[in-house]
């Protein structure tokens, strides 16, 4: 492979696929070679903007023989078969999260991936956000002593369409999945899950028996506790915060401002405009860094790409949270 | 009683008793008439500073016949018998929290209090903190729409002595009790409790089988969720925050700064000195306002003194949290 | 004098006189012995609340022979004769600022004060504000390297009555006088003054040929520049800020919040209620600390009470600012 | 011209020329057609990255006949002759500030520009910064009532090389020039200038008789006062703030953070990493918006490109400031 750019095949050209296409085009170490989407117009449009040969067939893309890696950004149910096909083709994979909504399907692939000579990485982009990555590095460096509590506040600007809720696998598999992985980014060895859910405002959630509001508490092997506070809506914008509480101090990640301006009047002082309200704005840098890490993974350089096991672990936690929320019991988990 | 100051008998002259003695002396509507403590030097010292006749006998104080109200600030095990004796004497009571560590003892007194012609108030001082009271008033006024989530962060500066931990009744009855009441200040109808505890750093907690770190999730009848994050220590000072998350916005209570000064250098910008680290500093105004409210209660004016039922409810939640943390199951509660 | 409380005679019982009366009554090292005001009802009222014998005659007070110190809080035109009379009586003086509106009157007293065996202190209370005092201590300790620029923002909540403006001596003598002293608290050796004034909103200022808006630039002997930004009104509350800019960093004093609560909605985030809007609230601690320092001065202990020379220097700067604003020329000053 | 991209000739390929080259390449309404620099390698490198034909001759570029506009980013002494030559060629011009260091040279061109059928715009990029532009729009919309005071804090991260200082025209022409234009963005009718300068830390400034520290006060026709606080260095990063103080409130522009992370320990709370320290980072969006506005100007659409008169006015203010700082007198100016 040497120093020539890694030739990517991109499967899936929806919103997130387009983000990856841009990242691939802008990164000097990567090039977009092939683009597949059964909705071939999508593939053509992306190829026109970011390079590569379009096709309506993922199989054709994988069979072409001129790729160095595959990025899977197609709908969740296609992930497992496409990862499998990519491994058949001997190609490293970066696959969007979640691997699947069904743990059994993931486990069926697990041995195959473990034995694979090429890497399979999962797209937990938030690990690559500069703020979260910085906090983790500083926690590891001991800046706040022992990590005792991690509090993750994660609220979307607005609930998804009711149709989507119905196929999402539920709030824990669909939304909290990111927070489960973030928890494990700091405390990989989670041993117990407690979850509470409520349905307070979203008609879609109500229709599909899902929650729109949730709190999850995770216990790590060390006894450190992680608290995740979720909501499907947030009037003030995308709410993505973290507090890492240690024996000697606290590291905080604040929400992303949209302006440097504040206003003060007789009514209120230091008021600022609402936070960023779109995940692609909030995590723009994270997506680019995620790709950069995967390039290192592919090149065999030291890297921190989340693994298939990380993807599986997040799903295990999501399933445990669902069960805990339904039964009112804490659920022990074994991520090994 | 008219407009003459309410004559208080104070029982107990430890740290918190002295706080109340000062409040009574400084409030123009109250006067300190009698002070009792079996350690009579304490009673004498408080009487010398803030007025009143000292005695070593609470019985003598209650029998004197020249009091309008009693403030009980003696050790927890004396609360129930002293409330009972005060009611015998026909005197309104303001009693420090908790009523008792044992719900059975509280329940034994419950009917008596319910039937009493004079009020019994419990000293949940935080309800009277200007910040928390303001948030609650604004939530009630609808400023943030429907209240969906309440997040209370409550961490003490440092763990208490090991001896104290042994008789404290455990972190939920001793420390979280304040947070349970604060939760009910916003959402009185709690129906379910889930709790997780860890013992991470405090030798006293370890010796006595107690937790030093805890997270509690409460569900209200409406489905709103309350998250309480506790620790027995905090390197940055007394950590007392709240986030009330509603359908249309968020109200936050920040920690209390100790200075208006910040410093910026090449190493870090806008760094401020640590927060207040003593509850008597943080809640100074709250204690005075608590007394003021109790005066209104005694005078039969509209008031918001926490009731015996509020005190009982906080203990019910503490017991439920203890059980949940021990069993890993959510515990339904009925506060009626 | 030993350890018995310093017996104060207070002259003047207006708003600021009452502040001092309270400080004297609350400080365990001081006692209010005599209170004088030609409006004898004021003297009686203050004496009833804070102690001492009332009189309508400052002469009688000074002649009583049972005082250890005098606090002069009467109208400005009485300051010079009363300081003089106090020195005749051999009594240490703490006199409110300004010494006089007329430099000639101050200079007539200057030699007398310099030769006096008892101290004369001037009430520049802001030096004793915990925030400003902290910044100065840290600047002196070298925390931000060499002090290069000092920016003082000082705006009153609302313009004074038109009548007052007419006898105030103008904005520089009346309001900026505090900022001149604050500048000298950091950089005593001011050598040049440049000032600009405008009359933008206050009818009283317009009637009396005064400014309601001003900017003053002071040059210190070292070349460090001080910028003072003034306004007679401020919609957001009392605006009292400072930025000390040094070669290695910056120290800032923020405005004093009135609450720990902030609100975030779709319209604006982190909005807080307006700042304190009354100087007696903002500088409550400063007045008490000012008295405490004067007690040390009287006792011959090391202290930092502003001197008569400090009071004169502030007036020299005010006169120079007035001249600069009128002529458009920078005015050299010699404070020695 | 229709809807086809505006074909730009870029003259000058130094640091700022490269910024513009990128903006031209990235803006869908513009294209880089020709690039001139006497250092032809620079022109070739820019052309290779962003498009266009390189040349070492600005004359050749202007004579090519296939351009729609010229962007002048060459050294200051070339600005006047190049603007003149561009007008000869009938081409609209966007020229970097300052027009010239010598007002006489600017005035010699003034009539020519006034009579020109094509526009000449000056590159005051800060007008296009989202924060400053937002504050100005809100001031104009009356959000803070009448604008009474504008305070601009503008400090560079580090002093330029001594050689540069020698040819810079001095701090007022070189650095404050941006702040003069910003002042006029809010208050165009400046009538008087007062300036103070000091040389405190920069050896280059000392060698060349320049200041490294300055404060300028401008008076507008309305009486509103502008205060500009400058330094050639800043330990905490690029310091670019503004406070617009009005009769009904205040709008503030804060410094640009580099991270969402803060840390709190027993030593200090809420400490954040230093601000951005490079003007190209701080004003990245501003440069793109500046180009966008110029495209509108060229197309005859409503636009806000700063004009040649704006460029001249800033220079008039700079000269006046220099004279005021040297003489200690306020300098009246007439910008008409």
- D139 Cβ contact list (under 8 Å, min separation 6): D147, D186, D244, D246, D251
Same domain, A110 and A171: no
Q: Which residue is closest to A266 within chain C, CA to CA?
A: C236
Task: Tell me, letter by letter, the H, E, C secondary structure of chain C.
Answer: CCCCCEEEEEECCCHHHHHHHHHHHHCCCEEEEEEECCCHHHHHHHHHHHCCEEECCHHHHHHCCCCCEEEECCCHHHHHHHHHHHHHCCCCEEEECCCCCCHHHHHHHHHHHHHCCCCEEEECHHHHCHHHHHHHHHHHCCCCCCEEEEEEEEECCCCCCHHHHHHCCCHHHHCHHHHHHHHHHHCCCEEEEEEEEECCCCHHHHHCCCCCEEEEEEEECCCCEEEEEEECCCCCCCEEEEEEEECCEEEEECCCCCCCEEEEECCCECEECCCCCCHHHHCHHHHHHHHHHHHHHHHCCCCCCCEHHHHHHHHHHHHHHHHHHHHCECEECCCC
Could you say which of C256, C257, C265 has the minimum Cβ distance to residue B249?
Answer: C265
> B246: which 2 tokens?
């509603």
- pLDDT beyond 80 at C3: no
- pLDDT beyond 60 at B89: yes
CA of A215 to nearest chain D CA: how many angstroms apart? 23
CATH number of the structural domain spanning residue A16: 3.40.50.720
Same domain, C96 and C204: no
Q: Alpha helix locations (H) across chain A?
A: 15-26, 40-50, 58-63, 79-88, 103-115, 130-140, 162-167, 171, 177-186, 203-207, 279-282, 284-299, 308-327
Could you tell me if A260 lies within 8 Å of chain C, comparing CB atoms?
no
Q: Is D288 inside a domain boundary?
A: no
Could you say which of A248, A262, A264 has the minimum Cβ distance to residue D265?
Answer: A248
Q: Are D336 and C202 in contact (CB under 8 A)?
A: no
Could you say which of D131, D252, D263 has the minimum Cβ distance to residue A249?
Answer: D263
Could you tell me if D271 lies within 8 Å of chain A, comparing CB atoms?
no
- pLDDT, position D2: 59
Q: Are B182 and B286 in contact (CB under 8 A)?
A: no
Chain C partners of A271 at a C-beta cutoff of 8 Å? 268-272
Contact D268 B272 (CB under 8 A): yes
Contact B215 A225 (CB under 8 A): yes
- pLDDT, position B2: 59
- C34 Cβ contact list (under 8 Å, min separation 6): C8, C9, C10, C52, C53, C54, C55, C61, C64, C66, C67
Contact B131 C261 (CB under 8 A): yes
Could you tell me if B261 lies within 8 Å of chain D, comparing CB atoms?
no
Same domain, C261 and C199: yes
Chain D partners of A259 at a C-beta cutoff of 8 Å? 130-131, 134
Same domain, C109 and C156: no
Task: Tell me, letter by letter, the H, E, C secondary structure of chain D.
Answer: CCCCCEEEEEECCCHHHHHHHHHHHHCCCEEEEEEECCCHHHHHHHHHHHCCEEECCHHHHHHCCCCCEEEECCCHHHHHHHHHHHHHCCCCEEEECCCCCCHHHHHHHHHHHHHCCCCEEEECHHHHCHHHHHHHHHHHCCCCCCEEEEEEEEECCCCCCHHHHHHCCCHHHHCHHHHHHHHHHHCCCEEEEEEEEECCCCHHHHHCCCCCEEEEEEEECCCCEEEEEEECCCCCCCEEEEEEEECCEEEEECCCCCCCEEEEECCCECEECCCCCCHHHHCHHHHHHHHHHHHHHHHCCCCCCCEHHHHHHHHHHHHHHHHHHHHCECEECCCC
Same domain, B156 and B259: yes
CA of B49 to nearest chain A CA: how many angstroms apart? 39
> D10: which 2 tokens?
């870029």
Q: Which domain holds residue C163?
A: 127-279+307-332
Q: What is each CA distance from A48 to A22, A32, A35, A68, A137, in whole angstroms?
A: 11, 11, 10, 21, 39
Contact A261 D248 (CB under 8 A): no
Chains with ≥3 CB–CB distances under 8 Å to C: A, B, D
Give tens-digit pLDDT for C137-177: 999 999 999 999 999 999 999 999 999 999 999 999 999 99
Query: Which DSSP letter does residue B256 get?
Result: P
Chain A partners of D49 at a C-beta cutoff of 8 Å? none
Q: Is B204 inside a domain boundary?
A: yes
d(CA C316, CA C110): 13
Chain B partners of C270 at a C-beta cutoff of 8 Å? 252
Could you tell me if B299 lies within 8 Å of chain A, comparing CB atoms?
no
d(CA C141, CA C129): 18
Contact B262 C252 (CB under 8 A): yes
CA of B170 to nearest chain A CA: how many angstroms apart? 18
For an interface test with B, give the residue of A190, A214, A223 to mutate (most B CBs within 10 A): A223
Mean pLDDT of chain C: 96
d(CA A61, CA A47): 13
Q: Average pLDDT of C6-26?
A: 96
Give tens-digit pLDDT for A206-222: 999 999 999 999 999 99
Q: What is each CA distance from D151 to A241, B183, D231, in whole angstroms?
A: 33, 45, 14
- Would you write out chain D's pLDDT as a tens digit for each of its 336 residues? 457 999 999 999 999 999 999 999 999 999 999 999 999 999 999 999 999 999 999 999 999 999 999 999 999 999 999 999 999 999 999 999 999 999 999 999 999 999 999 999 999 999 999 999 999 999 999 999 999 999 999 999 999 999 999 999 999 999 999 999 999 999 999 999 999 999 999 999 999 999 999 999 999 999 999 999 999 999 999 999 999 999 999 999 999 999 999 999 999 999 999 998 888 888 999 999 999 999 999 999 988 999 999 999 999 999 999 999 999 999 999 998
- pLDDT, position D1: 44
The total number of residues written for chain C in this structure: 336
Could you tell me if D152 lies within 8 Å of chain C, comparing CB atoms?
no
Chain A partners of D130 at a C-beta cutoff of 8 Å? 259-260
Q: Which residue is closest to A139 within chain D, CA to CA?
A: D263
Contact A265 C237 (CB under 8 A): no
Same domain, A114 and A149: no
Could you tell me if B143 lies within 8 Å of chain A, comparing CB atoms?
no
Contact B265 C256 (CB under 8 A): no
Q: Is C55 inside a domain boundary?
A: yes
Out of C75, C92, C118, a domain closes at C118
| CA atoms in the 13 A half-sphere facing the CB of D125 | 19
Could you tell me if A199 lies within 8 Å of chain B, comparing CB atoms?
yes
Chain A partners of C265 at a C-beta cutoff of 8 Å? 235-236, 274
3-state secondary structure of A195: strand
- pLDDT, position D279: 84
Contact A247 B148 (CB under 8 A): no
d(CA B217, CA B180): 10
Q: Are A269 and A242 in contact (CB under 8 A)?
A: no
The total number of residues written for chain D in this structure: 336
Contact C260 B131 (CB under 8 A): yes
Same domain, A257 and A325: yes
Chain B partners of C135 at a C-beta cutoff of 8 Å? 261
Could you tell me if B299 lies within 8 Å of chain C, comparing CB atoms?
no
Query: Which DSSP letter does residue B266 get?
Result: S
Which of these, D292, D315, D267, D279, lies nearest to D106 by C-alpha position? D315
Strand partners, B153: B229, B241
> D168: which 2 tokens?
């810079």
Could you say which of B251, B254, B260 has the minimum Cβ distance to residue C254?
Answer: B260
Same domain, B141 and B106: no
By CB atoms closer than 10 A (0-12, 13-18, 19+), residue B323 is middle
Could you say which of A134, A135, A263 has the minimum Cβ distance to residue D251?
Answer: A263
Q: Is D74 inside a domain boundary?
A: yes
Q: Is C263 inside a domain boundary?
A: yes
d(CA D61, CA D43): 11
Give tens-digit pLDDT for C254-278: 999 999 999 999 999 999 999 988 8
CA of D262 to nearest chain A CA: how many angstroms apart? 5
Which of these, A172, A174, A69, A126, lies nearest to A306 by C-alpha position? A126
CA of D325 to nearest chain B CA: how many angstroms apart? 30
Same domain, D28 and D47: yes
Q: Are A153 and A176 in contact (CB under 8 A)?
A: no
Could you tell me if A269 lies within 8 Å of chain C, comparing CB atoms?
yes
Terminal Cα distance for chain A, rounded: 34
> C257: which 2 tokens?
């919040």
Please identify which residue in the block is written with the tokens 């927060």: B275
Mean pLDDT of chain A: 96
Same domain, D156 and D109: no
CA of D103 to nearest chain C CA: how many angstroms apart? 24
Q: Is B299 inside a domain boundary?
A: no
Same domain, B316 and B199: yes
Q: What is each CA distance from D71 to C159, D56, D125, in whole angstroms?
A: 51, 15, 13
Contact C328 D330 (CB under 8 A): yes
Which of these, B198, B329, B151, lies nearest to A215 by C-alpha position? B151
For an interface test with B, give the residue of D157, D234, D236 to mutate (most B CBs within 10 A): D236
Out of A93, A118, A143, a domain closes at A118
Give tens-digit pLDDT for B243-292: 999 999 999 999 999 999 999 999 999 999 999 888 888 899 999 999 99
Out of D118, D135, D151, a domain closes at D118
- D38 Cβ contact list (under 8 Å, min separation 6): D56, D57
Residue D233: count other Cβ atoms within 10 Å of its Cβ: 18
Q: Is A1 inside a domain boundary?
A: no
Could you tell me if D259 lies within 8 Å of chain B, comparing CB atoms?
no
Complex ipTM tops 0.90: yes
Chain C partners of D156 at a C-beta cutoff of 8 Å? none
Strand partners, A230: A154, A214
Which of these, B218, B227, B253, lies nearest to B238 by C-alpha position? B253
Please identify which residue in the block is written with the tokens 């309404």: D29
d(CA B91, CA D125): 75
- A120 Cβ contact list (under 8 Å, min separation 6): A83, A87, A92, A93, A95, A113, A307, A308
The number of folded domains in chain C is: 2
For an interface test with B, give the residue of A142, A143, A149, A197 to mutate (most B CBs within 10 A): A149
Terminal Cα distance for chain C, rounded: 34
Give tens-digit pLDDT for A132-182: 999 999 999 999 999 999 999 999 999 999 999 999 999 999 999 999 999
- pLDDT, position C276: 87
Q: What angle do CA A208, A209, A213 make, to 5 degrees?
A: 110
Which of these, B210, B231, B228, B213, lies nearest to B314 by C-alpha position? B228
Could you say which of B235, B237, B270 has the minimum Cβ distance to residue D271?
Answer: B270
For an interface test with C, give the residue of B139, B260, B284, B285 to mutate (most C CBs within 10 A): B260
- pLDDT beyond 80 at B1: no
d(CA D155, CA D146): 27
CATH number of the structural domain spanning residue A161: 3.30.360.10
- pLDDT beyond 80 at B93: yes
For the packed helices B130-140 and B284-299, what is the interaxial angle rounded to 10 degrees? 60
Q: Is D299 inside a domain boundary?
A: no
Contact A265 D252 (CB under 8 A): no
Size of interface A-C (CB pairs under 8 A): 55
Could you tell me if B221 lies within 8 Å of chain A, comparing CB atoms?
no
The total number of residues written for chain A in this structure: 336
d(CA C69, CA C235): 40
Same domain, D102 and D133: no
- pLDDT, position C279: 84
Which of these, B220, C10, A31, A266, lies nearest to D250 by C-alpha position? A266
- pLDDT beyond 80 at C329: yes
């Amino acid at each position: 492979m040497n120093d020539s750019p890694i030739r990517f095949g991109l499967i899936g050209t929806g919103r997130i696929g387009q983000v990856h296409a841009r990242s691939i085009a802008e990164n000097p170490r990567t090039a977009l070679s092939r683009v597949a989407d059964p909705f071939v117009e999508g593939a053509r449009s992306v190829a026109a903007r970011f390079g590569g040969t379009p096709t309506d067939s993922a199989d054709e893309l994988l069979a072409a023989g001129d790729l160095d890696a595959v990025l899977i950004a197609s709908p969740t149910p296609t992930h497992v078969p496409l990862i499998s096909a990519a491994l058949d083709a001997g190609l490293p994979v970066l696959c969007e999260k979640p691997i699947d909504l069904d743990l059994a399907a993931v486990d069926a692939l697990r041995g195959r991936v473990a034995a694979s000579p090429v890497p399979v990485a999962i797209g937990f982009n938030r690990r690559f956000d500069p703020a979260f990555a910085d906090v983790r590095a500083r926690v590891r460096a001991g800046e706040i002593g022992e990590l005792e509590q991690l509090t993750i506040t994660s609220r979307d600007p607005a609930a998804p369409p009711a149709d989507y809720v119905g196929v999402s696998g539920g709030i824990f598999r669909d939304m909290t999945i990111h927070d489960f992985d973030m928890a494990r980014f700091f405390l990989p060895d989670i041993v117990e899950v407690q979850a509470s859910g409520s349905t307070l405002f979203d008609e879609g959630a109500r229709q599909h028996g899902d929650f729109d509001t949730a709190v999850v508490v995770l216990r790590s092997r060390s006894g450190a506790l992680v608290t995740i506070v979720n909501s499907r809506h947030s009037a003030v914008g995308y709410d993505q915060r973290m507090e890492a509480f240690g024996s000697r101090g606290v590291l905080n990640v604040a929400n992303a401002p949209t302006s440097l301006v504040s206003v003060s009047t007789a009514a209120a002082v230091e008021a600022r405009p609402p936070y960023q309200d779109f995940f692609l704005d909030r995590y723009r840098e994270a997506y680019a860094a995620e790709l950069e890490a995967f390039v290192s993974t592919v090149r065999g350089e030291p890297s921190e790409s989340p693994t298939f096991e990380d993807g599986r672990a997040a799903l295990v936690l999501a399933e445990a949270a669902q069960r805990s929320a339904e039964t009112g019991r804490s659920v022990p988990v074994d991520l090994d």
